Amino acid sequence: MKSSDKKKILILTADAGFGHRSAATAVSDALKQTYNNQLQVDIINPLDNRKAPFFLRESQSDYDKIIRSIPELYKVGYEASDSTFSASVFERALTVLLFDVMFEIIQEYQPDVILTTYPLYQAPFTAVRFIHRINIPLYTVITDLATVHHIWFNRHIDGLFVPTEEVKQLAMDAKIPENRIEITGIPVSPAYNQISKDKKTLRSELGWDPDLTTILAVGSRRVEQLEASMNVINHFGEKLQLIGVAGKDSVLYQQLMEMDWHIPTHIYEYVSNMPHFMMASDFIITKAGGLIVTESLAAGLPMMLIDIIPGQETGNAEYVVHHGAGQITLEPIEVLETLYHWLSNDRKILIEKSQNAKFIGKPDSAIHIANTLYSAAQVKYEKNTSLRPEFQQNLLELLNRYKIKIPEDRFFIKKQ
């Protein structure tokens, strides 16, 4: 198929943490694997655009610093903005700040379908679509399992991919029509649905001892308790194998490399084959981020959750515990206690939690989303993209006030 004949799917993401881009990559991989050369798929971060405000671009790199340094302040800000009124105010600001960015991106890529894995782009896209009469559908992937900020629920999107029944209900409470909501899980790499080798084989291929109980510990720049948690396991006494991944945190990586290990240990600064690492392990110690939790569930991997962002990740942790797929272990002593319980009585509890994780995991989530996007790309988009009269009036007044260029025929209010 000639390049000019291919349908184009554009995926919008951001780099505030790993989760949003990982979800975007998972869907992109699923589209390319399933539909081979029938599509052109691009992933971009609109906040990298030259017209994007500097403070929005920098907020991505500051994300981990803020959470690690002042988590309670982050919680207050998250909760204060999590209401219909606050989200509406935030959306108006985003529309002004990102209107030109979104229009420029659409002009450059000319997509047939847009998917976003980050909530800040929905409002500006809605404005651009109405103002410039652009016939492109927009779909959104929510990347948290239970506690979801109101900014995700934009009524003008064409489809919403949600991780759980709980989030579907939240979306419906926010007036998203039920027929636009699909429960898919958070998209994870298609590899989680394709790896068929057993744990021993995978361990051998990774250079690990195939016969030892294998614990995967995954950190990042914001996770503070990983080193202490691994040190507890290092002195547990039972013969175990510990796999540490620092998540691009060079300081943590160096600290782990310099520790005096008493058990077989393999340390990595970053890995690109996380599905293989998870499928080769018996359980994981990690944060309660939506993506890492979803990946663990897809791999049938019980979790010890050692770091939880107040507000945003609280629901993820509660979801895992409620479904019997893991435990909250915020202190090293709790890691020690949980480890003892999981490994006692012929590992009965660990086996049960693994079964529970598999039961609620959705390893084929990215494939389901890819199929929906492919189908949408094949059909000419003919939905009515007009907005409610009062919304139109407010939008035009807003753009006019901030001197954002609007086609002349869109003015039914007096230009200032």
β-pair type (283-287, 214-218): parallel
Amino acid 87: pLDDT: 61
303-307 β-sheet, strand order: 265-268, 241-245, 214-218, 283-287, 303-307, 326-328
Fold of the domain spanning 3-188+364-410: Rossmann fold (3.40.50)
Amino acid 365: pLDDT: 94
Which residue intervals of the chain bear CATH 3.40.50.2000?
Answer: 3-188+364-410, 191-360
Amino acid 214: pLDDT: 97
Q: How does DSSP assign 231-245, residue by residue?
A: HHHHTS-S--EEEEE
Amino acid 81: pLDDT: 45
DSSP annotation of 49 reads: S
Q: List Cβ neighbours of 90 (8 Å cut-off, separation of 6 or more).
A: 81, 151
Amino acid 70: pLDDT: 41
Contact 246, 217 (CB under 8 A): no
Separation of alpha carbons 278 and 23, rounded Å:
17
- Report helix angle 389-401 to 84-109, nearest 10: 70
Q: Which CATH superfamily is domain 191-360 in?
A: Glycogen Phosphorylase B; (3.40.50.2000)
Separation of alpha carbons 394 and 91, rounded Å:
12
Task: Give the H or E element holding residue 341.
Answer: helix 332-343
* Segments of the chain scoring below 50 in pLDDT: 62-64, 66-67, 69-70, 72-82, 85, 412-416
Contact 9, 172 (CB under 8 A): no
Which pair of tokens denotes residue 376?
A: 């949408």
- Cα dist from 34 to 38, 39, 370, whole Å: 9, 10, 8
